[in-house]
Chains A and B, each alone.
Chain A
Amino acid sequence: MVFSRRAALFSGGSMLLFGGIGYRLWQLQVRDHDDYQVRADNNRFNQRVIVPLRGEIYDRFGVPLATNRQNFRVLLVAEEVKDIAGTLAEVSKIVELTPQEQERVLLEVRRKRAFTPIEVADNLSWEDFARINFEGPKLRGIHTEVGYTRDYPFKDKAAFVVGYVGSPSDSDIDAIGDDEKTERLLRQPGFRIGKAGLERSYDEELRGKPGSTIVQVNAHGRVIEEYPNESDKSIQGGTLGLTIDAELQMAAMEVLARPIIEPAEGEEPEQVSASAVVMDVETGDIIVMASTPAYDPNEFNVGIRQSVWASLNNDPLKPLINKPLAGNYPPGSTFKLLTAIAAQEAGIKPSHRVHCSGRIWYGNRFFNCWKRGGHGTLDMKGSIKHSCDVYYWDLAQRVDIDKIAEVAHRFGLGEIYDLDIGTQSKGVVPSREWKKNYFASTPERQTWFPGETLSVAIGQGYVTATPLQLAVMTARIATGKQVQPRLIRAHADGVVPPPVIPDIEIKLEDLDAVRDGMNAVTNEWGTAARSRLEDPDWQMAGKTGTSQVASLQYDARGNRVKNEDMPRHLRDHALFVAFAPYENPKYAISVVVEHGSSGSGAAGPKARDIMKAVTAKNPSALPAFNPATDEPVKMASLAYELPASAKPVGGAP
């Protein structure tokens, strides 16, 4: 009896416990099923971002300025390796790894989860990559991957136009990662965004659209299967077609870099800091925008070394400054063109004559013309041809500063252009209003003195301009139209129609005397006769400018020190602006050579040589690239030689 009772008790107890298990099953599988279903899916499904290829940037003929190059990388998965240091040493036999690089890998191994691939080396040559793949079975845990990296085949030759890309910083992510998907894209390892130049301003267009893929992972996070999402593929960023002609850009870079002063026997030639802008005066297309010295944007892409950065940053020639847009120079005698136009609008005829005896007395001192003996009697055309200062000091006493300023603005000085490129300098066009604002905190200095007008009239004093503004000025003088510079001539969907350019409000005959004068400068034995273009179809009309950086220096004997003999940073800037052909203008150019001493000696010849190349090719007359319909040019089929340093790294597989 006792046994039966006890047995019944245990049976009953067991069944009760079974009921408990059953209740638990109901909880898990029926009541909370949805919750567990979600958790099971979260467990095993991850959404991965597919990084889109960045849009490519081409010159006006489809020559790539910024492309995506295959990047052969070596990765290491720590959990598959027993002896990581030993494996790195094995890899190092094929691709050299410095001790610092090996240290970095070991550090990352400690920081990241064991199955996360860690980059060991990238930008391998095809040969090294093939060898790593060949040795693969021996190198457990070492994987190879073909990724893409931004490539600038023209290196420093087109650096300032395209700019460069770099890893987004946290503040970049805050600024542009407005939706979750973009933010995830920006956080992808190795993802780059535009940091400077067009890469930066057109970043959104170039970036493309990220796609997504669902991956099934196992408990260790390893991808088991990938489910490509057909409706959410990544889309490559849009193509940009520029107005730049890469070939002429390269030619201009080469001309600019030529030493101005022949180096003494056994000495290195002095490096030149100069910039040049060539524009199509009918469309505003910027054909050349050159600045030297420059940097190699590829170095920024892969993560610039501290030492390189420091040397770029401390270089007195400022290789990081985009001088055509950000360089701010007193325009010197090139500004006389505007003074002459302003004078005509103020009622002074081109036949107005002034006698130059080498100096004038004004206020309480002498103003010395650059030609000590004087120019004799000159009319307006002659004043431009000989760049006579006295003539313009005479005009400055007859024309109000505000009139000069108004004309300068009309011809493009003191303006920021809609180029979508950052760091443009506005320059200074002085006027009474400007001075009032400029000295807002010191009211006693706000008054405009007539003597200051004399300085402005010859492009000195407060007035400054950028090489781009001077090119625009020249183009506007050449055409009488409100030429607007532009860099983008095509997008992925086709060519941007050339802008309709309105006329400048001016009597065209007011420009004639100026153009005549410019023609005389080069072609009638004026100040830049040496810079004449011989081709009768491409007669170039120009204007020199030499803008004073420091006051005149005298040696112990009281003789003026020749500008060329002064310390570099005190030498005058050399400027030259020109358009060609004189009769039916097509191209305008401005060249500024920092501390080049003389516009006719340093800037003129460079402008001539660049213009020679431009007119010989006449790029505006050639059929241009349309990204929507044309195939881009293959680097291998270029008609001209790339700089030796610009050959693509590695080969194609």
Chain B
Amino acid sequence: MNTLVLPDRRGGLRKNLAAVNWWLVIFLSLLAATGVATLYSVADGSWTPWALNHIMRYALGLMILMIAAFIPLRFWLSMSYPAYFFSLGLLALVPVIGEINMGAQRWIVIGGFQLQPSEIMKVALVMALARYYHGLDFKRVSNPIYLVIPLAMISLPVALVFLQPDLGTAILLGLSGIVVILLAGLSWRIVVVGAILGLMGVVTVIQLDLIKPYQIERITSFTNPEADPLGAGYHLAQSKIAIGSGGVTGKGYMNGTQSQLDFLPEMHTDFIFTIFGEEFGFFGTIALLGLYLVVFLIGTNIAMKAKSHYGRLVTMGICITFISYVLINTGMVMGLAPVVGVPLPLVSYGGTVMLTMMAAFGLVMSTWINRDQDTLRTSMSYYGRIN
């Protein structure tokens, strides 16, 4: 018997579709639709160059999500390490065949597709760590010896991404990895010690000038952007003006003056929330945050209900990565966080982020469908129990 047989072969399409968590699909779609509408406005009322692509990418992402959802979680478990090493390989390739963009090498081109390996790594790292803790006896989680491997799994990609250099993604990557370790139940004592060591590490990095000047500028400028309105803080000041001038109800769709007049950079990617905020106002931004929160809570609910350790760790790790994107991006465009170049998931234009996010939610969906399975050890017992 083929171990890769999809569940619908046995239960019928209707039954399997009923197993899908449609709320998750609906809210993800609403987010993507928000992205399409905003991209249409940013392009001054044009489907090109972004809005139409965004739709197609979302459609492709939805297909990937569904396929991933119907693949047994056990398969994903077994694929975790290979996926990690594949992503690590891609990351290592970046300095060799990568394309330089905005002062950093982040992209590689494979078969005509531009790929951002650091985005793929975000999901792969969560998968690998979940896989690691899935097979680890809980008693050993807080044993420092068993912390070496997960920390190494985190450090390698973080270092590679950091050297691209892409500070924002490196931080996000490290953060999501640590979150998975914490979710796995690492003792708080070790967390405190680790935090102190980490702080020392950061100091060392700065002392040794490993951070590029523009990165320091970007990080420090957010505290007082008005001090240097045409320098590093200029974009931030303009972003705040745009959001603030949106007011309660916004300037109206396609009427965002700040954005239409080039006051903002990267309007279709990192600063898309600014345009949205300018055009839709406080009601609009709160509603958008609400959408993200709902997606997050649906994911948290799935994680709580999942019986397998792998499933719940992957789901929660993905959810927190997802919500970190949102928090950092929105915080960044409003002067609460450094401008580090983090997109707003599903709304910002960007293929790799979109597809990896959708694939990640495919894993979440797979966890949902397989939530009652606890060990994931054998395929036969798994199918046996469902039937």
The chain A residues found within 8 Å of chain B, CB to CB, are 2-4, 6-7, 10-11, 14-15, 17-18, 20-22, 24-26, 28-30, 32-33, 35-37, 39-40, 43-44, 216-220, 224
Tell me the minimal C-beta distance from A101 to chain B in angstroms: 32
Can you show 28 pairs from A to B with CB atoms below 8 A apart? A3-B184, A3-B313, A7-B300, A10-B182, A10-B320, A11-B300, A14-B323, A15-B293, A18-B289, A18-B293, A20-B336, A21-B336, A25-B277, A25-B282, A25-B289, A28-B277, A29-B247, A30-B282, A32-B244, A33-B248, A35-B244, A36-B240, A39-B241, A39-B244, A40-B257, A44-B258, A219-B238, A219-B264
Tell me the minimal C-beta distance from B364 to chain A in angstroms: 13
Tell me the minimal C-beta distance from A546 to chain B in angstroms: 74
Q: Are B327 and A21 within 8 A (Cβ)?
A: yes
CA gap between A17 and B316 in the complex, in Å: 17
CA gap between A427 and B187 in the complex, in Å: 107
Q: Does B296 contact A (CB under 8 A)?
A: yes
CA gap between A35 and B258 in the complex, in Å: 15
CA gap between A43 and B243 in the complex, in Å: 14
B297 contact from A11, A39, A224, Cβ within 8 A: A11
Q: Are A216 and B261 within 8 A (Cβ)?
A: yes
Tell me the minimal C-beta distance from A215 to chain B in angstroms: 12
Task: Supply 9 further A-B pairs (C-beta < 8 A) apart from A28-B277, A36-B241, A40-B258.
Answer: A3-B312, A10-B179, A14-B323, A21-B334, A24-B331, A25-B286, A29-B243, A37-B245, A40-B241
The chain B residues found within 8 Å of chain A, CB to CB, are 138, 179, 182-185, 238, 240-248, 257-258, 261-264, 277, 281-282, 285-286, 289, 292-293, 296-297, 300, 303-304, 309, 312-313, 316, 320, 323, 327, 330-331, 334, 336
Q: Are A30 and B247 within 8 A (Cβ)?
A: yes
CA gap between A21 and B261 in the complex, in Å: 26
Q: Are A28 and B263 within 8 A (Cβ)?
A: no
Q: Are A39 and B263 within 8 A (Cβ)?
A: no
Q: Are A29 and B248 within 8 A (Cβ)?
A: yes
Known: A7-B303, A21-B330, A25-B277. A40 touches B242 (CB 8 A): yes
Q: Are B320 and A14 within 8 A (Cβ)?
A: yes
Residues of B within 8 A of A219 (CB): 238, 261-264
Q: Are B327 and A29 within 8 A (Cβ)?
A: no
CA gap between A441 and B287 in the complex, in Å: 91
B285 contact from A11, A14, A29, Cβ within 8 A: A29
Q: Are B182 and A30 within 8 A (Cβ)?
A: no
Q: Are B183 and A37 within 8 A (Cβ)?
A: no
Residues of B within 8 A of A217 (CB): 261
Q: Are B286 and A24 within 8 A (Cβ)?
A: no
Q: Are A218 and B261 within 8 A (Cβ)?
A: yes
CA gap between A216 and B245 in the complex, in Å: 16
Residue of B nearest to A29 (CB): B282
Known: A29-B281, A40-B257. A10 touches B183 (CB 8 A): yes
Residues of A within 8 A of B185 (CB): 2-3, 6
Q: Are A22 and B244 within 8 A (Cβ)?
A: no
Q: Are B282 and A26 within 8 A (Cβ)?
A: yes
Residues of B within 8 A of A7 (CB): 183, 300, 303-304, 312, 316
Tell me the minimal C-beta distance from A32 to chain B in angstroms: 6
Residues of A within 8 A of B330 (CB): 21
Tell me the minimal C-beta distance from B116 to chain A in angstroms: 25
Q: Are A39 and B289 within 8 A (Cβ)?
A: no
Q: Are A218 and B285 within 8 A (Cβ)?
A: no
Q: Are A22 and B289 within 8 A (Cβ)?
A: yes
**Interface-centre pick from B182, B257, B336 (highest chain A CB count, 10 A):** B257
Residues of A within 8 A of B257 (CB): 40, 44
Q: Are B183 and A220 within 8 A (Cβ)?
A: no
Residue of A nearest to B334 (CB): A24
Tell me the minimal C-beta distance from B298 to chain A in angstroms: 12
A218 contact from B242, B248, B263, B309, Cβ within 8 A: B263
Tell me the minimal C-beta distance from B81 to chain A in angstroms: 21
Residues of B within 8 A of A220 (CB): 262
Tell me the minimal C-beta distance from A376 to chain B in angstroms: 94
CA gap between A32 and B334 in the complex, in Å: 13
A11 contact from B238, B296, B309, Cβ within 8 A: B296
Known: A3-B185, A21-B289. A29 touches B320 (CB 8 A): no
Known: A24-B334, A28-B334, A43-B263. A33 touches B244 (CB 8 A): yes
Q: Are A30 and B248 within 8 A (Cβ)?
A: yes
B182 contact from A6, A17, A25, A26, Cβ within 8 A: A6
Residues of A within 8 A of B243 (CB): 25, 28-29, 36
Q: Are B261 and A224 within 8 A (Cβ)?
A: yes
CA gap between A410 and B320 in the complex, in Å: 104
Tell me the minimal C-beta distance from A227 to chain B in angstroms: 13
Known: A7-B300, A30-B247. A18 touches B261 (CB 8 A): no
CA gap between A25 and B312 in the complex, in Å: 32
CA gap between A28 and B277 in the complex, in Å: 10
Tell me the minimal C-beta distance from B47 to chain A in angstroms: 23
Tell me the minimal C-beta distance from A306 to chain B in angstroms: 39
Residues of B within 8 A of A33 (CB): 244-248
